[in-house]
Chains A and B, each alone.
Chain A
Amino acid sequence: MKRTNEFLAAVSEIPNITAFAERIMIHWHLDRNTAYDVLLAIDEACTNLSTHAKTASGEPIMIILKMRKCFGFLCIRIVDNSIYYDIENAPSPDIQKNLSGEKKGGFGIFLIKTLMDRVKYKRTNNGNVLTMVKKIR
C-alpha cells in the first residue's frame, strides 16, 4: 500500500488528504481514537498550509505526506515548499480574543501540539518539514 502521496495545498484537497491517511490507518488496524487524533493533526497542518502559506515566487504549494509505523509509534511527515513558518513556536490560541472577535482561530496548531506526542519542525533549502509522532497501541 502506498504510504507517501503528493497533494496540492488547497482547501478542496483536505478531504482527499485525510482520506489517504485514513486508508493507511485502517490498513494498519489503528484504534479509532488514535486514528482520529492523527487525522485531525494532519488536517490542521494541511489546512494551515492551504489557507496561510505562501511561496516566494508565487508557484503552487505542494504537500508531500509520508506515513510510517515503527516500534509502537506512528510517524507522520509533511513536507512543503512554502515560506518559513515555525509551528513549534506558534502562540497558544487566545479564547477571549476569539470570543470577542478580535482574533479568529489559532486552534489548529494548539490541537496538533496537544494531540501528538511529539512535534518537530525543520526548515530545509526547499521548504519545511513537519514531523509528528503518535504513540500507538
Chain B
Amino acid sequence: MIKTKDTGDNIVVYLRGRLDVHMSGEIEKDIQKLIDENPEKSLIVNLSEIEYMSSSGLRVLVAIMRILKTNGQNLKLCHLNAAVKKIFEVVELMDMFDIYETEEEALRT
C-alpha cells in the first residue's frame, strides 16, 4: 500500500524500500488505481525513502509518466538519492523526467 498526500492540483506519492522486480508490479498497480481515481491530477513521486531501485523501478516510472501524459497530466520526481540518480544518468533519462531536489520545489514549480 502506497502512502499519498492530496495537495489540490497534485497528489504526492511516497515510495519506500525496494523498487525492484519483486515490488514494482504491486506499486505500478497501486499508482494506476490512483491515477484512474484522480484523472485530473498530476503526480509528484517522492523517492526519499527508496533504499534501492533496479531497472524494474525505472520501467514503472516510465509507464506512469506515459499514462499521465496521455491524460494531459505531469509526473514530477523528487528527493532522488545518489544511487537512484545514477541509474537515471546511466540510461540517459534525467532529461526525460521533471526532477526536483525537494518536494516543496516540485510543488512550487
Contact = CB atoms under 8 A, between A and B. Distances in A.
Do A and B interact with each other, yes or no?
A: yes
A39 B52 contact: yes
Interface residues of B, number: 22
A47 B93 CA distance: 21
B62 A98 contact: yes
Nearest to B58: A107
Chain A interface size band reads 20 to 34
Contacts of B58: 107
A23 to B, nearest CB: 15
Nearest to B91: A107
Contacts of B52: 18, 36, 39
Given A40-B87, A47-B20, A108 B93 contact: no
B91 A93 contact: yes
A104 B59 CA distance: 7
B22 A44 contact: no
A91 B62 CA distance: 19
Contact of A43 (B20, B59, B86, B91): B20
B33 to A, nearest CB: 19
A14 B59 contact: no
B96 A99 contact: yes
Question: In terms of DSSP, what is the predominant structure of the interface of chain B?
Answer: helix
A108 B54 contact: yes
B102 interface: no
A40 B22 CA distance: 14
Contacts of B54: 40, 43-44, 47, 108
Given A99-B66, A111-B87, A105 B55 contact: yes
B2 interface: no
B1 interface: no
Contact of A47 (B18, B21, B66, B90): B21
A55 interface: no
A33 B87 CA distance: 12
A114 B63 CA distance: 23
Given A15-B18, A39-B52, A100-B66, A105 B87 contact: no
A95 B93 contact: yes
12 contacts: A36-B86, A47-B54, A47-B56, A93-B91, A99-B66, A101-B63, A104-B59, A107-B58, A107-B59, A111-B55, A111-B87, A111-B90
